[in-house]
Chain A
Amino acid sequence: MTQIALTDLTKVFDGNVTALDALDLTIDAGEFFALLGPSGCGKTTLLRTIAGLEQATSGSIHLGDRDVTRVPAGSRDVAMVFQDYALFPHMTVLDNIGYPLKIKGQSKEARGDQSLRVGEQLGLAHLMERRPAALSGGQQQRVALARAVACHPSLFLFDEPLSNLDARLRLEARGFLKRLQRELGVTTVFVTHDQAEALALADRIAVMESGRIRQLGTPREVFRRPANTFVANFIGSTPMNLIDGTVAGGVVEVAGGRLPVPDELAGVLPSDMKVIVGMRPEYVRLSAQPAEGSIAGEVAILEHLGATTLVTVDCAGEAVSATVPEDAEPEPGDRVHLAPQPGRMLLYRHDDGELVEPRTGDSA
């Protein structure tokens, strides 16, 4: 069990592309940690820098109490699973799993036993003599995991471990991965661009954008209270409603209606402050009757999501969406009223897109 501490970590490519911008991050021992972000945000570079495949331009990396910033890749006691699994095509599954042990100088028998044991543990016992090309995607992924597990590292690094699997298999592999990490208790960092994957697997998530961490928190925190409009946009399978509004006393004027200012911000916001109102469609109530603190509009589009339906409502020119149970669908063209669930409406500052927090809410 190893803690990872990154201090002021910076990586600049070719002198001008900043992939990591003075990152500070501590990942606890035994934690399942997700680096989440759109492509090009630096998440894979961060993972590769921890692995030692990239040299940090400045700053430091500590694994446990070791400073590994200048330690070469092979001496950091980490195991990495690559997006394409990087199984060696000329070796059998058994030899692939045993390869890290071979490098460590273990005898053929010892590493054969060890590989077989790990292979059995991961349900690969009947495939040990096959070549990677003769395996399905899911099996290849498990071989790659087995290879990482077999060398007993103090840290696992997974680069998009599930993105090469098809959708159904991905769900299965997700559960498998989480169970495996629980059982082994090894600190694990994984990179993904799929917010659902990060929410499902991770103990904590760092949402990254252009080499910086935009929010760090548990999946629940990141989902419920995105720290800025970037995270708000990125997290959630249906995008959050982000609508321009203006504070007017105890209410926010938005999309032709008036919504009450959230309780924790009551009285601290200056009037005429420009804000962006954030509401997740899941947290918006839709009703046919007008109610206090709601905005009115006309139903424009219905999208079926299975058990729920995403309703897009045209409210004075703004598209606002809400999810409703499948049996409570309105008809397109219906006049409806939308109100956020209590405590689930968020306000972001219009100028920098940061969440207005109670303590900092007095300044705009």
Chain B
Amino acid sequence: MRQSRHEAESDMTASIDGERSAAASRTAWRMAGRIGFYTLTCLIAAFFAIPLLWLISAPFDASPTYAVDFPEFTLANFATILANPYALPSLLNSVILAIGTAAFVVIGAALAAYALSRVRIPGRDALLYLLLLLSSVVTGTAAMVPLFLLVSEIGSAIHPMLGIDSHFAVMLVMSSGLLPAAIFMLKDFVDGIPPSYEESARVFGASPFRVLKDIVVPLITPGLATITVWTVVNVWGNFLVPFILLRDADRQPAAVLMRTLYTEAGQPNLALLATFSLLYSLPVVLMYLFVSKRYGFRFHGGIKS
């Protein structure tokens, strides 16, 4: 009897010890797992952060390489780039193209999204999806030759504004590529406005345009801000369309100018490229900060803005 009790006690201690060591090893594993996880995320973060670090440090370096170094501090690169007769005008061209295209896209998308949201036509959704599908073709690489011919042969014949070397023509082409997706995004916002708001205004005598101006536009401002930013970013980064449609170096935007920053030996001029890239990215960053502060980026209608 006594013997068996003793055995039972020792069994119990053993099992408690066992549990303790199991718990300890579980904790250790969890710790190891965490450490592994954070190491991995740090590596991934570094992978993306290093090019950005290079972008920030290289412009201030007298002789930048592909490596991220602590720079030999100098502002000479900025002086050199400002001396380039095309550098600042190209940034201005980028601004003109971005603002112009954004205006076309925002106004066009607001009108179209409102109409598509409120008017019942058969096959409306099919039309929208078809447009969305085809829009990727318009500014896609495959359409570049027909697009060039369209602008240089037909556009130029109608009016120089629609021909080669016209900012207006570039805006039209890029708007047509961006509009379907913009309409698609904005329609979600318009769909969220109860029809009774507009009907109420209509009964009080408001014209359709008045309803759009007084009721619909103020209520979809976050959506308009979203597509404005999205359009500007798209235009700002687009190389192919302005490269093909603008032959005159005075009219080319920054994205196109970038390709000319080479040394006499035909090597990329890293100092100038980095400096110009920094200048090139600043306006977009500033715009993000401004819009984010003003409207706050949120999830809207399932589309991350």
B292 in contact (CB, < 8 A): no
CB-CB nearest in chain A for B194? A84
Decide yes or no whether B11 CB sits under 8 A from chain A.
no
Interface residues of A in 59-84 (CB under 8 A from B): 73-76, 78-80, 82-84
Q: Which of B148-156, B201-209, B234-242, B267-275 contacts A (4 or more CB under 8 A)?
A: B201-209
Q: Which residue of A lies closest to B203 (CB)?
A: A80
Shortest Cβ distance from residue B192 to the other chain A in the assembled complex, whole angstroms: 11
Are B196 and A84 neighbours in the complex by a CB distance under 8 Å? yes
Q: Are A79 and B203 in contact (CB under 8 A)?
A: yes
Q: Which of A76, A86, A100 touches B194 (beta carbons < 8 Å)? A: A86
- Tell me, in angstroms, the Cα distance from A20 to B197 when the chains sit together: 25
**Complex Cα gap A88–B211 (Å):** 11
Q: Which residue of A lies closest to B215 (CB)?
A: A88
Chain A CB within 8 A of B95 CB: no
Q: What's the nearest-Cβ distance from chain B to residue A22, in Å? A: 25
Task: State whether A74 touches B196 (Cβ < 8 A).
Answer: no
A10 to chain B, nearest CB (A): 21
Residue among B196, B197, B204, B215 with the highest chain A CB neighbour number at 10 A: B204
A80 to B199, CA, bound (A): 9
- CB distance A104 to B205 under 8 Å? yes
Across-interface contacts of B204 in A (CB, < 8 A): 74, 79, 99-100, 103, 151
CB neighbours (8 Å) of A104 from chain B are: 205
Pairwise interchain contact B218-A90, C-beta atoms closer than 8 A? yes
Q: A86-B196, A86-B197 are in contact. Are A51 and B210 (CB under 8 A)?
A: no
> Is A267 close to B, CB under 8 A?
no
Number of residue pairs across A and B with beta carbons under 8 Å?
54
Judge whether B194 and A74 touch: CB under 8 Å: no
- B200 interface residue per 8 A CB criterion: yes
Min CB gap A310→B, angstroms = 38
Contact A74 B203 (CB under 8 A): yes
Complex-state Cα separation, A354 to B296, whole angstroms? 63
Q: Which of B200, B203, B206, B210 contacts A52 (CB 8 A)?
A: B203
Bound Cα distance A73, B194 (Å): 18
- Contact flags A40-69 to B (C-beta < 8 A → 1, else 0): 000000000001110000000000000000
CB distance from A257 to the nearest CB of B (A): 53
Q: With the chains together, A144 CA to B197 CA distance in Å?
A: 11
A51 to B199 Cα, complex, angstroms: 10
Q: How large is the interface on A (under 10, 10 to 19, 20 to 34, 35 or more residues)?
A: 20 to 34
Query: Within 8 Å of chain B (Cβ to Cβ): is A256?
Result: no
Q: Taking the complex as formed, is A358 at the interface, i.e. its CB lies under 8 A from any CB of chain B?
A: no
Q: Which A residues touch B219, using CB under 8 A?
A: 89-90
| Least distance between A344 CB and chain B CB atoms (Å) | 43
CB-CB < 8 A to A99: which residues of B? Answer: 201, 204, 214
* A-chain residues with CB within 8 Å of residue B205 when the two chains form the complex: 73-75, 100, 103-104
Structural contact, B199 and A53, CB atoms closer than 8 A: yes
With beta carbons under 8 angstroms apart, the residue of A75, A79, A82, A151 that contacts B199 is A82
Alpha-carbon distance A53/B214, docked complex (angstroms): 19
A44 to chain B, nearest CB (A): 12
* Residue in chain A with minimal CB distance to B199: A53
A residues in contact with B201, CB < 8 Å: 88, 99, 103
> In the assembled complex, how far is the CB of residue B194 from the closest CB belonging to chain A, in whole angstroms?
6
Q: Does B206 contact A51, Cβ atoms closer than 8 Å?
A: no
Q: Tell me the bound Cα distance from A83 to B201 in angstroms.
A: 15
CA of A75 to CA of B202, assembled, Å: 9
Contact with A along B170-204 (1 / 0, CB 8 A): 00000000000000000000000010110111111
Known: A88-B215, A90-B218, A90-B219. Is A51-B203 also a contact (CB below 8 A)?
A: yes
Residues of A within 8 A of B207 (CB): 74
| B203 CB contacts on chain A under 8 angstroms | 51-53, 73-74, 76, 78-80, 157
A79 to B199, CA, bound (A): 11
Complex contact B196–A82 (CB within 8 A)? yes
Distance of A240 Cα from B131 Cα, bound (Å): 59
Q: For residue A83, which residue of chain B has the nearest CB?
A: B196
Contact check, A74 vs B202: say whether CB atoms are below 8 A apart. Answer: yes
Give every chain A residue within 8 A of B199 (Cβ-Cβ): 53, 73, 80, 82, 86
Given contacts A84-B194, A86-B194, contact A53 B202 (CB under 8 A): yes
B contact residues around A78 at 8 Å (CB): 203
Q: Kindly state the separation between the CA atoms of A83 and B197 in the bound complex, as whole angstroms.
A: 11
A11 to B210, CA, bound (A): 28
A99 to B206, CA, bound (A): 10
List residues of chain A with CB within 8 A of the CB of B210. Answer: 103
Residues of A within 8 A of B194 (CB): 84, 86
Name the residue in A90, A151, A157 with the highest tally of chain B Cβ atoms < 10 Å from its Cβ.
A90
Q: Which A152-172 residues have a C-beta within 8 angstroms of B?
A: 157
What is the chain A residue whose CB lies nearest that of B193? A89
Interface centre among A76, A86, A90 (most CB of B within 10 A): A86
In the assembled complex, the CB of A159 is this many whole angstroms from the nearest CB of chain B, namely: 9
> Contact at B196–A73, with CB atoms within 8 Å?
no
Give the distance in Å from the alpha carbon of A89 to the alpha carbon of B203 in the complex. 18
Report the bound CA distance from A86 to B197 in whole Å: 5
CB distance from A258 to the nearest CB of B (A): 55
Distance of A327 Cα from B251 Cα, bound (Å): 95
Chain B hits for A88, CB < 8 A:
197, 201, 214-215
A80 pairs with B206, CB closer than 8 A: no
Could you list some 5 contacts between A and B, CB below 8 A? A74-B205, A86-B194, A88-B214, A88-B215, A103-B206
Q: Which residues of B contact A (CB under 8 A)?
A: 194, 196-197, 199-207, 210, 214-215, 218-219
Known: A73-B199, A73-B202, A82-B196. 13 other contacts (CB 8 A): A53-B202, A53-B203, A74-B202, A74-B203, A79-B203, A79-B204, A80-B199, A80-B203, A86-B196, A88-B197, A89-B219, A99-B201, A99-B204
